[in-house]
Amino acid sequence: MHFQTAYLKLTLFYVAIVMAISLIFSVVIYKISSVEINRGLGNQTSALRQMPLSSNPFVDELERIRQSQLEESNDRIAINLIYFNLMIFILSSVGSYFFAQWTLHPIEESMKAQNRFTADASHELRTPLTAIKIETEVSLRDKNLNLAEAKKLLQSNLEEVDKLEHLSSALLKLAKLEEYVKTDFKKVSLDEVVEESFEKIKKLADKKSITLIYHPERPAINNRRPAKLFVSGDQQSLVELIIILLDNAVKYSPDHSKVAVDIKKSDKHVELEVSDHGIGIKESDLPYIFNRFYRADISRCKQKVEGYGLGLSIAKRIVELHSGTISAQSKAGHGSQFTVKFDSV
Ligand code: ADP
């Protein structure tokens, strides 16, 4: 409804511009035409006046005819111009409406997405807040609350606050990435990026006894040491990207399994693959996993896996900033593979 009014307003604005131009041209055309016709007929009369045989009454009669012809022509031009402007009005109204739709449609879509995002974010923020509120209220009403119970409550509240902190930092990261401009891009070694990410994720992997595998050594070609693989980018963001993929791989994999990172180089690209042998992703979920707040049905997973469905959308944004592509292949129950493709430098 809000946008319908905007469509109409913009249509009116376009029509007003077109009609203003058309009317100005019509007035100019009308003036020029009547001056030209008047001049043509006037020339004829003065030519006749100069003829020796012409009698005055004849010329006067001609002058009268000339005057009525001039008025008739002016009226005809005016009517034609009115018809012309009516036609322009109808055509420009239809055209302007479509043009206004074409102009406003992307804005409408992005506003809808923004509203959806705000609604989802508010919902996610409200859940832990409600939990904190209810637990605190119930405990405050309990007159026999002892120290152990109070500590339990504080512990539970702390967990909810941790979740809130996690969510707000993810939201902040997304907002910052939206604003990010690629001015500080440098030549970054992908090997270093993976090594740094491994160091940061190791603790989490160790908790589940998951083995992280990465073979940075590439075979030597013609006795030459293989070149390191570089991309142009922001090292910290790239580390963040690999951490998101590794974090998911660890989160959605069973204990004692393996998570591997592989880097391949083709003609102009560098491909980075993160693969696991975890719960996998259903085919019906695959197209949506990069959407903000999308979480696939994880009922197949034994333990509850925490998350907000923001990791992969942050990953996608980082890849887009580096002019790369990210895709996922997976088979439910057999594991997943995420492939990131960059231009090599
Ligand atoms: P979350 O915080 O839920 O992990 P993400 O945006 O990182 O959010 O991932 C979106 C969804 O994609 C997850 O909820 C999960 O269902 C699915 N997913 C992502 N990575 C994997 C993976 N390696 N294995 C299985 N499922 C995955």
Pairing of strands 325-331, 335-343: antiparallel
Which ligand 1 atom is at minimum distance from the Cα of 309? 8
Mean pLDDT of the chain: 89
Which ligand 1 atom is at minimum distance from the Cα of 278? 24
Q: Which residue type does 113 have?
A: A
250 in contact with ligand 1, CB cutoff 6 A? no
Question: Which amino acid residue places its CA nearest to atom 19 of ligand 1?
Answer: 248
Pick the residue with more confidence: 302 or 82?
82
SS3 call for 99? helix
Measured between alpha carbons, how far is 308 from 167 in angstroms, rounded to an integer? 7
Is the CB of residue 157 less than 8 Å from the CB of residue 136?
yes
Question: Which amino acid residue places its CA nearest to atom 7 of ligand 1?
Answer: 311
170 in contact with ligand 1, CB cutoff 6 A? no
Q: What is the pLDDT of residues 187-206, one digit of tens each?
A: 999 999 999 999 999 999 99
201 in contact with ligand 1, CB cutoff 6 A? no
Which ligand 1 atom is at minimum distance from the Cα of 308? 2
Non-local CB neighbours of 126 within 8 Å, separated by 6+ positions: none
Which ligand 1 atom is at minimum distance from the Cα of 310? 6
Is the pLDDT reported for residue 2 higher than 90?
Answer: no
Measured between alpha carbons, how far is 94 from 52 in angstroms, rounded to an integer? 61
- How many angstroms is it from 173 CA to the middle of ligand 1? 18
- Mean pLDDT value across residues 93-115: 92
Pick the residue with more confidence: 141 or 181?
141
pLDDT at 16: 97
- Mean pLDDT value across residues 121-147: 92
